[in-house]
Amino acid sequence: MVYLLYGTKDFQMEEEIKKICKNTDIINISRYDLSNDMLSLALEDASTISLFDDKKTVIIYNADMFTSAPSKDSEIVEKYLQNINEQTTLIFVVHNDKLDTRKKITKIVKEKGQIKEFNDELDSTNLVRRLFKNYNIDFKTIKLFIDRVGNNPLIIQNEINKIKIYKANDNNITEEDILNLTTKLIEIDIFKLIDYIIKKDKEHALELYYEMLKMNEEPIKIVVILANQFRIMYQSKELLKKGYSEKDIASTLKIHPYRVKLAIQNSRNYTSDILLKNLNNLADIDIGIKTGTINKDLALELFIFK
């Protein structure tokens, strides 16, 4: 069987891969990443019989030959697809929101295998309920959990696994557990702070800033994170205008795709000029702190009032 999984939702694709591999012994699962590995080796593996079982699974990541990107690998893939090893489950993974449906190899996979798209937003509430299966947790506590850790599925999974370790002998998850056992994601508050700053809502901006200080966040750290977020928002917005996909932007900026997604979502209501102006102001503050002309503890307050 041949599967072609594509989309920007890495977590959902990995969940699908787990489902496909659930009846395969781990010793019979091979993973290749075409960013580093040769396609010929992966397909040679897929073509051979397993030494340990009559079935095996070969997973090939970054299979960009199925996208519009130029690739010399199409012919070798097409050759394999014309003579598929029925004892191997072959999974192609494409970290892109679109496939090139005009390509012959894409059409062959559609005819002989299964193509699955993973671009839809994941319902964080349902994911938390599912990961807390066999635990008692109410909606209010779930909302508190999401408010603290955000909507990144990988972070959600890691934080829930951490809670489960501490609650090994207790199936009741309380708000106190969430507050004591999870790490609040500062990035969420940063976007709120950015919104208040751009809207000139000084009262709420200062209120949120002081809350962050109460959580022992260092003022200079907040300034640096703010500057980084303004920079990413500005760069992502400009690259999006030029037709770059989220994956292309992440690759160009050398950051995780989830950060790009957040930056794009949170920059939609602001012009590039506003983002650049605030970025330049923060750069001036950074220079002021380093040269000693601005008190680091007052720097952000001065920025908010500017």
Question: For the CA atoms of 96, 98, 101, 103, what is the dihedral angle to 10 degrees?
Answer: -30
Sign of the Cα pseudo-torsion (108, 110, 112, 117, in order): positive
Q: What's the predicted TM-score (pTM) here? A: 0.56
Residues whose CB is less than 8 angstroms from the CB of residue 305 and which lie 6 or more positions away in sequence, other chains included:
202
Q: Specify the pLDDT at position 147.
A: 84
Sign of the Cα pseudo-torsion (33, 38, 43, 45, in order): negative
Enumerate residue ranges in the chain where pLDDT < 70.
52, 186-188
Cβ 124 vs Cβ 144: under 8 Å:
no
89 beta partners: 57
Q: Specify the pLDDT at position 216.
A: 75
Cβ 181 vs Cβ 132: under 8 Å:
no
Average pLDDT, the chain: 88
Report the alpha-carbon distance of residue 230 to residue 218 in Å, rounded. Answer: 18
| Interior angle at CA 243, CA 239 and CA 244, nearest 5 | 55
Cβ 288 vs Cβ 294: under 8 Å:
yes
Q: Specify the pLDDT at position 187.
A: 67
Instruction: List pLDDT tens digits, range 210-259.
Output: 878 877 778 888 888 888 889 999 999 999 999 888 888 988 888 877 78
Question: All domains of the chain, ordered by start, with CATH?
Answer: 2-118 (3.40.50.300), 124-181 (1.10.8), 186-305 (1.20.272.10)
Instruction: List pLDDT tens digits, range 95-123.
Output: 888 899 999 999 999 999 999 999 877 78
Residues whose CB is less than 8 angstroms from the CB of residue 28 and which lie 6 or more positions away in sequence, other chains included:
50, 52, 53, 55, 56, 57
